[in-house]
Amino acid sequence: PDIIGQVLDRHEQRRGTWRAAWREHAHAQQSLQQAYERFRTGLERSAEQSRGRGRGRDVDGLEL
């Protein structure tokens, strides 16, 4: 019957909209994760460089 075809068509439209929204969400999450990893890597490098320069306990030339 026609009503079943209409219901299936509406369902497929909703699924298409849902899939597009999900792809957008997944892409945003992936971008966020990548940004976090870049930030974390930058912090780790900065900490390594700071340790390499002898920073830490030595403040303004005074040992603590």
Domain count, the chain: 1
Count the neighbouring beta carbons within 10 Å of the beta carbon of residue 64: 6
3-state helix, strand, coil in the chain (%, to 5): 80, 5, 15
Domain assignment present for residue 64? The answer is no
Quote the CA–CA distance of 9 and 14 in Å, as a whole number.
9
Instruction: Give a yes or no: residue 57 inside a domain.
Output: no
Q: Is residue 55 part of a domain?
A: no
Model confidence pTM above 0.85: no
Question: pLDDT tens across 1-60, in order?
Answer: 899 999 999 999 999 999 999 999 999 999 999 999 999 999 999 888 887 766 555 556
Q: Which domain holds residue 31?
A: 1-42
In a domain, 26, yes or no: yes
* Residue 4 covered by a domain: yes
Please tell me the predicted confidence (pLDDT) of residue 51.
77
What pLDDT score was predicted for residue 9? 96
Let me know if residue 37 belongs to a domain: yes
In a domain, 61, yes or no: no
Say if 13 falls within a structural domain: yes
